[in-house]
């Protein structure tokens, strides 16, 4: 898959809007003592980050005034940057749905991020605990669709090899595993999550490798995608706005994000690759999945060093171990009684 384009790494809000936020929130706080101040303007709604932190048991601290914020408690540390969607949650990069913003020393967090980004990662979703026993792996591309190509190396070939390696390791760990394709064949995108549904999969994992059109010597690392919630633009929006709507896969928003986080953490820590973050997208294979689903971009074929590793069977074995570790961490968290 081509290098995903960011649609808001540094996106500042107009100063007039910030003034409106401050004025309206001040009136809200005066009307409701000790309440978390919030205000809804042309979407999204924002809340005072210091109030959100207090309600959720975090200490709020400006590491660098009007630029970098640290939130800490006994279990977690969050780093957030003003005018940016990039944040770190316990050392793992996660892309927010909207940038944090600030005015006159007051930082603001999008309410949707509090509910749909931070909360699912700080309080793992346990609404319907269940045992994860069946996994559907989706080797990206295939047949007439080669995916990325670097010299004679085609993405479709290496996604299948990686899927086969992951399948072997998962089977050894006691999981039932299905692949959307076992050979070099073309599978339409909507068919892939449908195959997972037919096979009764508990989770769906689509496997891909990235490529950069420019900066091939520098652009590298892993990133994991889950479905964008309704009301927000995707990390790689490419012109898609926040009004793209709701899809079947949005039923599992919290589980999607938590699974993506576990995958990103395992990949970056076990492979020591650059952390490009947990991201959101409305890829077809994620939109139509009726079970928790993620799409992994496991590295850049275009990078001279990372590409050589991807083409190596020994490295793909390590990569598979990291993916299995992420799945196991997710499965343990979903176990009844945990």
Report the pLDDT value the prediction gives residue 25, as an integer from 0 to 100: 42
Question: Tell me: the pLDDT tens digits for 127-141?
Answer: 555 789 999 999 999
Say what percent of the chain tops pLDDT 90: 78
Cα(12)–Cα(15) distance, rounded to whole angstroms? 9
HEC-encoded secondary structure of 209-264: EEECCCCCCCCCCEEEEEECCCCCCCCCCCCCCCCCCCCHHHHHHHHHHHHHHHHH
Closest by CA to 20, choosing from 43, 47, 39, is 39
pLDDT digits (tens, 9 = 90+) for 135-164: 999 999 999 999 999 999 999 999 999 999
Question: Looking up tokens 């936020």, which residue turns up?
Answer: 21
Question: Which of 33-37, 100-104, 334-338 has the least mean pLDDT?
Answer: 33-37
- Determine the distance from the C-alpha atom of residue 209 to the mean position of all C-alpha atoms in its chain, rounded to a whole number: 16
pLDDT, tens digit, 9 for 90 and up, residues 192-234 = 999 999 999 999 999 999 999 999 999 999 999 999 999 998 9
For 255, counting Cβ atoms within 10 Å of its Cβ (0-12 exposed, 13-18 middle, 19+ buried), the class is buried
* Cβ(209)–Cβ(297) below 8 Å: yes
Does 217 or 24 have the greater pLDDT score?
217
Q: Given the DSSP bridges, would you call strands 84-89 and 203-210 parallel, antiparallel or unpaired?
A: unpaired
Token pair for 41:
């303007």
In this structure, whether the domain defined by 134-334 belongs to CATH 3.30.300.130 is answered with no
Q: Tell me: cis bond preceding 26? Omega within 30 of 0 counts.
A: no
Query: How would CATH label the architecture of 15-122?
Result: 2-Layer Sandwich (3.30)
Which percentage of the chain shows pLDDT scores above 70? 83
Q: Between these two residues, 181 and 244, which has the higher pLDDT value? A: 181
pLDDT interval class at 325 (50, 70, 90):
very high
CATH 3.30.457.10 maps onto the chain at 15-122
> Are 168 and 99 in contact, with CB atoms under 8 Å apart?
no
Structure tokens at 207: 């496997």
What is d(CA 270, CA 279) in angstroms, rounded to the nearest whole number?
19
The pTM (predicted TM-score) of the whole model is: 0.88
Backbone angles phi, psi at 24, to 5 degrees: -70, -40
Query: Residue 207: helix, strand or coil by DSSP?
Result: strand
Asked if 220 and 310 count as a contact pair (C-beta separation under 8 A), the reply is no
**By three-state DSSP, how is residue 281 classified?**
strand
d(C-alpha 335, C-alpha 129), whole Å = 6
Residue 40 pLDDT class (50, 70, 90 cuts): very low
Q: Please, where in the chain does CATH 3.40.630.40 lie?
A: 134-334
* Position 23 pLDDT exceeds 70: no
Q: Could you read off the pLDDT of 248-297 as tens digits, one per residue? A: 999 999 999 999 999 999 999 999 999 999 999 999 999 999 999 999 99
**SS3 at position 136:** strand
């Amino acid at each position: 898959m081509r290098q995903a384009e960011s649609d808001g790494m540094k996106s500042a809000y107009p100063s007039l809007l910030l003034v409106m936020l401050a004025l309206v929130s001040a009136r809200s706080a005066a009307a409701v003592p000790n309440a978390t101040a919030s205000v809804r303007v042309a979407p999204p709604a924002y809340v005072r980050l210091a109030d959100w932190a207090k309600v959720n048991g975090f200490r709020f601290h400006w590491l660098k005034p009007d630029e970098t914020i640290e939130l800490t408690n006994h279990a977690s540390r969050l780093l957030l940057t003003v005018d940016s969607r990039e944040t770190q949650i316990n050392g793992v990069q996660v892309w927010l749905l909207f940038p944090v913003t600030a005015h006159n020393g007051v930082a603001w967090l999008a309410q949707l991020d509090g509910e749909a980004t931070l909360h699912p990662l700080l309080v793992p979703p346990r609404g319907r605990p269940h045992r994860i026993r069946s996994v559907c792996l989706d080797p990206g591309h295939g047949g007439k669709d080669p995916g990325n190509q670097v010299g004679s190396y085609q993405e479709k070939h290496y996604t299948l090899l990686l899927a086969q390696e992951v399948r072997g390791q998962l089977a050894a760990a006691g999981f039932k595993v299905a692949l959307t394709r076992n050979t070099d064949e073309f599978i339409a995108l909507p068919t892939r999550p449908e195959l997972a549904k037919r096979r009764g999969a508990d989770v769906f994992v689509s496997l891909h490798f990235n490529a950069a059109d420019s900066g091939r010597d520098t652009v590298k690392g892993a990133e994991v995608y889950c479905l964008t919630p309704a009301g927000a633009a995707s990390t790689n929006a490419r012109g898609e706005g926040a009004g793209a709507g709701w899809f079947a896969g949005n039923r599992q928003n919290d589980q999607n994000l938590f699974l993506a986080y576990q995958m990103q953490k395992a990949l970056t820590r076990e492979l020591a690759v650059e952390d490009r973050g947990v991201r959101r997208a409305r890829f077809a294979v994620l939109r139509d999945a009726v079970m928790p689903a993620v799409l992994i971009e496991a590295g850049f074929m275009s990078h001279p060093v990372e590409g050589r590793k991807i083409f190596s069977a020994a490295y793909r074995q390590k990569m598979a171990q990291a993916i299995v570790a992420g799945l196991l961490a997710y499965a343990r968290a979903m176990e009844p009684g945990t």
